[in-house]
Homo-oligomer: A and B are copies of this chain.
Amino acid sequence: MGMDKLARKKRELLQREGLFLDIARRLLLKEGYHGLTMARVAQAAEYSKGTIYQHFSCKEEVILTLVTRSLERRLAMLEKAAAFRANPRERIVALGEAMELFVRLYPDDLRLIFLSNTEAITQKASEQFVWNMRRCAHRSFGLVTGIVRDGIARGDLTLPVSATPEHIAFGLRALTDGAYAITMSWIPPREVGIAQPIEAAKDICQILCDGYGWRPLSTEWDYNATRRRVWDEVFPGEVKKIASN
């Protein structure tokens, strides 16, 4: 087969995989894990079930592919935020804004990411997928630890003897993930007295940084101005998209 034909073939395969994934995503989000069935995907895509199994070895792999896409989309936004040119604590603020914009723009992707914590799904995951998901986790953690190291290097932050940069990253991440987990769980945050869980999570991250004595403290700096700068300079398109809704 000619090279060009082979390339076309490959492109078509990729396109078909995209079709399967789009349908699967729609079903999964709309009707949950049990609502996503291979037969329904096949029917909606107007292919036979067997063809899907040429792309994915099992139902779980379909889901994990969706999860991986969402993880990478989020990671891309976090990386953009981490590259914000400002002092380290402002860059932490930028990460918080990235998280918030991500969840506002793509709430469905966040749902998918949380789905990946389900054992029923990860049980059947191939090495390939686990490896890739870990890679995403590493990189997003790495962004935070990197900023913490910068803060230490600049003398903005002095670690307690028992702590490491990883500890702080772990704390910020646990706080954020936990807040989102509560938001998306069967515990409605309003019922426990929190009207705006996402804003609350950002504020608490700030207070945690203050707790470490990371300068400039939130009392010494106008971090709302920082937020506006992040919107303007890093995520103008995203902010516009949200505003237009």
Binding site for B on A (CB under 8 A): 32-34, 114-120, 122-123, 125, 130, 133-134, 137-138, 141, 145, 160, 162-167, 169-171, 173-179, 181-182, 184-189, 191-194, 197, 200-201, 203-204, 207-212
Partner of A177, one of B134, B145, B182, B192: B182
Partner of A163, one of B185, B188, B203: B203
How many Å from the CB of A124 to the closest CB on chain B?
8
Partner of A173, one of B141, B178, B211: B178
List the B side residues contacting A204 at CB < 8 Å: 167, 170-171, 174, 208
State whether A203 touches B117 (Cβ < 8 A).
no
Q: What are 25 sample pairs from A and B whose C-beta atoms fall under 8 A apart?
A: A33-B119, A114-B117, A134-B188, A137-B186, A137-B187, A137-B192, A138-B191, A141-B193, A160-B207, A162-B203, A166-B192, A167-B194, A169-B192, A170-B189, A170-B194, A170-B197, A170-B200, A170-B204, A171-B201, A173-B178, A174-B201, A175-B175, A207-B208, A207-B212, A208-B211
A170-B197, A170-B204 are known contacts; what are 15 more A-B pairs with Cβ within 8 Å? Answer: A32-B119, A32-B123, A34-B123, A118-B120, A163-B203, A166-B193, A166-B194, A167-B193, A170-B179, A171-B179, A174-B175, A207-B208, A208-B208, A208-B211, A210-B211
Nearest 7 A-B pairs (CB), nearest first?
A: A178-B178, A211-B211, A166-B193, A174-B178, A33-B120, A171-B204, A174-B179
**Copies of this chain in its oligomeric complex:** 2
State A6–B32 Cα separation when bound (angstroms).
Answer: 42
State whether A130 touches B32 (Cβ < 8 A).
no
State A133–B120 Cα separation when bound (angstroms).
Answer: 21
List the B side residues contacting A118 at CB < 8 Å: 33, 118, 120
List the B side residues contacting A186 at CB < 8 Å: 116-117, 122, 125, 130, 133-134, 137
State A170–B204 Cα separation when bound (angstroms).
Answer: 9
State whether A117 touches B120 (Cβ < 8 A).
no
